[in-house]
Amino acid sequence: MPQLIYTLLLMLLAVVTFGDTKACNETCSFTVDYEHDRFLLDGKPFRFVSGSFHYFRALPGSWRHILRSMRAAGLNVVMTYIEWSTHEPKEGIYNWDGIANLEEFIRIADEENLYVVLRPGPYICAERDMGGFPYWLLTKYPSMKLRTSDADFLREVEKWYDVLLPRIKKYLRGQGGPVIMVSIENEYGSFSACDHEYLSFLKNLTEKYVQNDAVLFTNDMPDQLECGSIPGVLATVDFGTTDNPDQHWQKLRKYQPKGPLVNAEFYPGWFTHWTEPMARVAVGPVADTLRTMLSSGASVNFYMFFGGTNFGFTAGANGGGPGEYQADITSYDYDAPLDEAGDPTSKYYTLRSAVLEYLPDPDVPVPPRLPKMSLPPVKLNRYGSLMSTEARQALGYHTKSSERPLSFEALDQHSGLVLYEATIPSGTNRDPLLLKVQDLRDRAYVHVNNKFIGVLYRENAIDSIPVSLGQGERLQLLVENLGRINYAIANDFKGILGSVTFDGNEILNWTMTRFPLEDYSLLQNYVDRYSGYEVEASRNAAAQIFQGTFVIHSQPIHDTYVDPTGWGKGLIFINGFNLGRYWPLAGPQVTLYVPRHILHEGSNTILVIEYQQEIQGDAVITFTDQPKLDGL
Ligand SMILES: *[C@@H]1O[C@H](CO)[C@@H](O)[C@H](O)[C@H]1NC(C)=O
Ligand SMILES: *[C@@H]1O[C@H](CO)[C@@H](O)[C@H](O)[C@H]1NC(C)=O
């Protein structure tokens, strides 16, 4: 008899916790039962253990594998931000394919028996460039006040939501889909503007589409509910490991006396800036805090359960340190339970055991670690500098002139590099002279007459360099954007924002050449037509271009890691795909993750733009089967 009751209880629990996403028909709903401190899924009590996984940080070919690994850990929900800049990289040009195929991501999650929580922001933070906002907002409205009721901002958000939310509608629970919750803003309480009018606007706009088909929520750090919570919207809190989760729940209860407890961002790992040690979070306290929260009936989202990669120019930055700037590394491994390649770590197994003490075992076998491959060293050919005449003609855009330097945004450029050039004033015999660049964002490779003489960098608050006479009269500053600040968001314009002075005298009359490095076909054309005479002419300049090929014989093809040890700082493209920034000299990240999906059998191409280091002798790069994220 006790056995029978136990079995019945288990069955009941299974029904309560899973709910078949396809079989709800007219009972389809997800609501908050404030009175009983719980959620109701299709009218039945429900609580979740969820994991954050941002689709834009992994290639679609690996989505199912990762989602299944999450389900196998006992999770019943996947939470993702929606990144505006991924979907509207240029104004009015929308992208819903490949890594931007949000609907496909939702469908796969559904097929893997996960419910979905969407966090459309529009501000997402997330250690992404500009917190997920598209840069062109600042091109169009240089004085826009993001995350406030600035009329221009509200109008642009409304335009974006009018495109986004109708696409989401059919996936909401009330429409029979897997999406149970939709967030409003993101830790708004931590933002100084504290603009309740804006939150009210965003709530109304979201509600217009979501109606009662999903639960709307906000998330804030426990001390910041005052400016972050919205009347009539479920408030949740974000906190990491602690001996006493109760203190945080009490702060939530002050604002929301009844309703389900949710930790929307529980941190099993953390992010890392360049030059810092790789963030590592011990699993013991994570498991302990998790058990305490689950024992009190709370729902919990791991941020991140799978971190992935900031491919291309998508990494963000913070505003700390001596130069009030700290750029994030390319990897978003996050020391998460699933590593950057999507493989289970020992942390995964520990947390899975803890989760399964509270949620039913979904009986999904844990997908095994996928094999990784190394490759023989690849020798690269030299194609001169980005600053050479030939490269400028092939890759540089719209040389523009103006009295004072223009920002990347004023030049309508997202990221990459901009070359600023001016004539050094004559008529002085002081030697050397101090070149000073005010408000540099972020890093300048300083040249005189095509000769690289040193680096200035915002992060270290190094803004000046001596220049000796007789080096030439052409001053050239090749300026790199290392990612716009994503937290406590300001308008983090890039380029040279202040004045450039020589011995205190301002240098005027600049020409700017843009290198957005967005269209790989230009790079490939350049390499294909390269005549060779520029190698010598630009050999003393920074930003040297290298390309080589490597052959893959084996099938199936595995993930690998490109190891730029011995190189300085720059960018790597494989088969035209921008893997992101490498910087082994600063670390801690050394290798870049190379997803198997960008490789193919036969000949593959690697292109490197090395920003600062002279590569002597043969230029060689290797591929290893092990990530190296903890320094050289
Ligand atoms: C949002 O809607 C409510 C209810 O209709 C209204 O009172 C409020 O003024 C609206 N907020 C804004 C910013 O329009
Ligand atoms: C800048 O250009 C303007 C217009 O061509 C010219 O009048 C001025 O003398 C130049 N200034 C400097 C410092 O070269």
- DSSP 8-state assignment for residue 559: B
Of ligand 1's listed atoms, the one at least distance from the Cα of 204 is: 1
C-beta 204 within 6 A of ligand 2 = no
**Which of the ligands is closest to the CA of residue 158?**
1
Give CA separation, 327 vs 137, 310, 443, 517, in Å. 21, 12, 11, 19
Question: How many A from CA of 276 to the centre of ligand 1?
Answer: 45
Domain 375-383+543-624 has CATH 2.60.120.260: yes
C-beta 197 within 6 A of ligand 1 = yes
**Which tens digit of pLDDT belongs to each residue from 352-373?**
999 999 999 999 999 999 999 9
Question: How many A from CA of 510 to the centre of ligand 2?
Answer: 10
C-beta 471 within 6 A of ligand 1 = no
C-beta 200 within 6 A of ligand 1 = yes
- Which among 478, 490, 411, 408 is positioned nearest to 446, based on CA atoms? 478
Question: How many A from CA of 421 to the centre of ligand 2?
Answer: 14
Retrieve residue 622's tokens: 């290797």
Note the pLDDT of residue 11.
Answer: 43
Q: Where are the beta strands (DSSP E) in 267-357?
A: 299-302, 317-318, 326-327
- DSSP 8-state assignment for residue 132: G
**Which tens digit of pLDDT belongs to each residue from 406-463?**
999 999 999 999 999 999 988 778 899 999 999 999 999 999 999 999 999 999 999 9
Q: Which residue among 426, 500, 509, 510 is best mutated to probe the pocket of ligand 2, counting the most ligand atoms within 8 A of its Cβ?
A: 509
Of ligand 2's listed atoms, the one at least distance from the Cα of 508 is: 13
C-beta 149 within 6 A of ligand 1 = no
Question: How many A from CA of 388 to the centre of ligand 2?
Answer: 26
Domain 387-515 has CATH 2.60.120.260: yes
**Which of the ligands is closest to the CA of residue 422?**
2
> Atom 8 in ligand 2: which residue has the minimum CA distance?
509
Question: How many A from CA of 423 to the centre of ligand 2?
Answer: 11
Note the pLDDT of residue 534.
Answer: 65
Question: How many A from CA of 209 to the centre of ligand 1?
Answer: 15
C-beta 402 within 6 A of ligand 2 = no
Note the pLDDT of residue 19.
Answer: 42
Which residue ranges make up each domain of the chain? 2-308+332-339+348-355, 375-383+543-624, 387-515
Give CA separation, 340 vs 50, 62, 73, 343, in Å. 18, 11, 17, 7
Question: How many A from CA of 264 to the centre of ligand 1?
Answer: 26
b/e for 61-89, b at 16 or more Cβ within 10 A? ebbbbbbbbbbbbbbbbbbbbbbbbbbbb
> Atom 13 in ligand 1: which residue has the minimum CA distance?
201
C-beta 204 within 6 A of ligand 1 = yes
Distance CA 314, CA 308 (A): 12
The reply to whether 2-308+332-339+348-355 and 375-383+543-624 are identical in fold is no
Q: Which residues lie below 8 Å from residue 518, measured CB to CB, with a gap of 6+?
A: 414, 416
Average pLDDT, whole number, for the chain?
95
CA 17 from centroid of its chain's CA atoms: 32
The stretches in the chain having pLDDT less than 70 are: 1-23, 534-536
Retrieve residue 19's tokens: 């709910």
Annotated catalytic residues are 187, 265
> Atom 6 in ligand 2: which residue has the minimum CA distance?
509
**Which of the ligands is closest to the CA of residue 199?**
1
Q: What CATH topology corresponds to 2-308+332-339+348-355?
A: TIM Barrel (3.20.20)
> Atom 4 in ligand 1: which residue has the minimum CA distance?
204
